[in-house]
Structure 1
């Protein structure tokens, strides 16, 4: 018995078995005709499910979406046509039975009220050190033009740029439009002769042009002696980022055989402020750390430390 139990994972024991359960769909219902380019799929919560897998097929049984979400709804852009959708619950050990496929149709409507502009790039929460990049969105076929607004969230929601009557699906920013570091929201709505989308579609981006601070080496101590073939633990600190945007920071640790770092023996990317390495050769070594951030800024390398491996 002990031998058999050893093959049963903790997840199997702790997770509820939902393999015979079925998720109840609520919207769209069978035969619904939706006049919007975005459909919000909804279903009832299933006890024991941590996530839900939504699958959507077109009339040729080609899979259009296969999406895993933790909520009991998901909004997806849909082209005009007929579709079937289904959903199942999942946890780390079990999957429920898929719901019975539900047929629905998406019709193109000249009325934009219930439609949405689909933003394409940059991705949401985009971080960059450049003020020149392009905002782009998908064409809404029945739109005559678009309206764009950019808001500086770091200054309390000040509108820093607004453009009406845009007949293309992109706008390129420059430093006359965005001149300060900060968090921004860009939002677009579509307009035609009889209607406009009831809400803006929005995403955020951040501008961070400040280089990370210079790290400070901690261990191994400067001029220390280490033992060959034994693991050495490197660590360092860095002062807090005082910039408007604190982009995520990672590090490059370099180990060289000379103080000018013209002969770098190893260069490693590190997400935290520690690193471990052993050395098979005796001799003198030099190490330093450089911080870089998610926006693309690179700071000044730390002052090097040296150690000797005997």
Structure 2
């Protein structure tokens, strides 16, 4: 029989590479000697758009980035405009007309790069007609079971009021909007009338001009819980061997299930594990003490919005 021998050098290379990967998983790489490259706005950039998009190159092993903006310069700071941590390599903010500098650094849990070389830019005075509100919260795509929500957005230089519109049909007919009012501030508390997906947008205004509409953001309100769960196996009062697989039918709209297991008195949790959240419709139950006797259990469904439906009928089985 012929054997193919692996060269020792190749074996060592594979072993060392695997070891390095394992070490990297355990020991966080240092960012101390790395650099970060800012891209936009470029040094000397002038814009009549108050909406400024900051962008920089990503750094390997970075978990977040700290962005700072001052006016007019870092060596003669008059105002700290922004000092924030973001998870991506982009950030947008509305700024007033003026002179600014910005810089950024990459960070992880134990180290950071030095700040990038500051870049200067200028925001020029311009008509409000060219500007656009930056929406704040709630974030686009939010799913919630809370009827009340606070819509928030950023300010626009020169605006004295803001026009808020809320719709369920992407603003195709402004005569049938859910909400359509001008308000003085940058926040509005609203209560959803029913379960539905809503869109919202904001426009800055003053007495002589109107800005552009913001981008459209979407939020879904769902406060309807899943239906009652129906248990499947084991059958009521059935005698079973350990471990036993508890099974139930899927409930419409349920994204996960809460399983309750009780001792023989039907009210005391079997142990600290229960209730347990599950993403499927079965669970292998293994007794941890007193393996014999009667066990009670029930299940409820929980949808993606966090609504918990009614629990199933409680059922017992007997472990032999």
Equivalent position to 1:297, from 300, 304, 307: 307
1:52-91 alignment, distance < 5 Å: 54-57=65-68, 58=70, 59=74, 64-69=83-88, 73-77=90-94, 82-86=100-104
Equivalent position to 2:160, from 144, 148, 163: 144
Distance 1:271 1:142 in 2: 52
Q: Is the 8 A contact 1:151 1:157 kept in 2?
A: no
Give the equivalent residue in structure 1 for 2:8.
none
Give the equivalent residue in structure 1 for 2:270.
265
Residue 157 of structure 1 and its aligned partner are, at CA, apart by 7.5
Quick check: 1:192 aligned with 2:206? yes
Q: Is the 8 A contact 1:152 1:184 kept in 2?
A: yes
In the alignment, structure 1 segments of 5+ residues that lack a partner are 13-18, 242-247
CA 1:165–1:153 in 2, change beyond 3 Å: closer, same or farther? closer
1:19-58 alignment, distance < 5 Å: 25-42=38-55, 54-57=65-68, 58=70
Which structure has the greater CA radius of gyration? 2
Distance 2:189 2:49 in 1: 28
Residue 144 of structure 1 and its aligned partner are, at CA, apart by 1.2
Q: Is the 8 A contact 1:28 1:42 kept in 2?
A: yes
CA 1:4–1:309 in 2, change beyond 3 Å: closer, same or farther? same
Q: SS of the residue aligned with 2:140? A: coil
Q: SS of the residue aligned with 2:308? A: coil
The alignment yields a C-alpha RMSD, in angstroms, of: 4.2
Q: SS of the residue aligned with 1:238? A: coil
Give the equivalent residue in structure 2 for 1:226.
241
Distance 2:38 2:183 in 1: 39
Residue 301 of structure 1 and its aligned partner are, at CA, apart by 1.0
Residue 255 of structure 1 and its aligned partner are, at CA, apart by 0.9
Task: Kindly provide the CA deviation profile for residues 184-216 of structure 1, in whole angstroms up to 9, marking residues without a partner as x.
Answer: 111111112344332324321112232202223
Distance 1:239 1:156 in 2: 35
1:164-243 alignment, distance < 5 Å: 164-174=181-191, 178-222=192-236, 223-227=238-242, 231-241=243-253
Q: SS of the residue aligned with 1:172? A: strand
Distance 1:249 1:290 in 2: 11
Matched pairs, number = 285
Q: SS of the residue aligned with 1:4? A: helix
CA 1:40–1:258 in 2, change beyond 3 Å: closer, same or farther? same
CA 1:81–1:226 in 2, change beyond 3 Å: closer, same or farther? farther
In the alignment, structure 2 segments of 5+ residues that lack a partner are 1-11, 25-30
TM-score by length of 1: 0.70
Distance 1:52 1:292 in 2: 32
Equivalent position to 1:160, from 163, 172, 177: 177
TM-score by length of 2: 0.69
Task: Kindly provide the CA deviation profile for residues 130-164 of structure 1, in whole angstroms up to 9, marking residues without a partner as x.
Answer: 54433233444531111111121499888432433
Q: Is the 8 A contact 1:189 1:201 kept in 2?
A: no
Distance 2:202 2:209 in 1: 15
Give the equivalent residue in structure 2 for 1:275.
283
1:105-144 alignment, distance < 5 Å: 105=121, 107=123, 109=125, 111-144=127-160
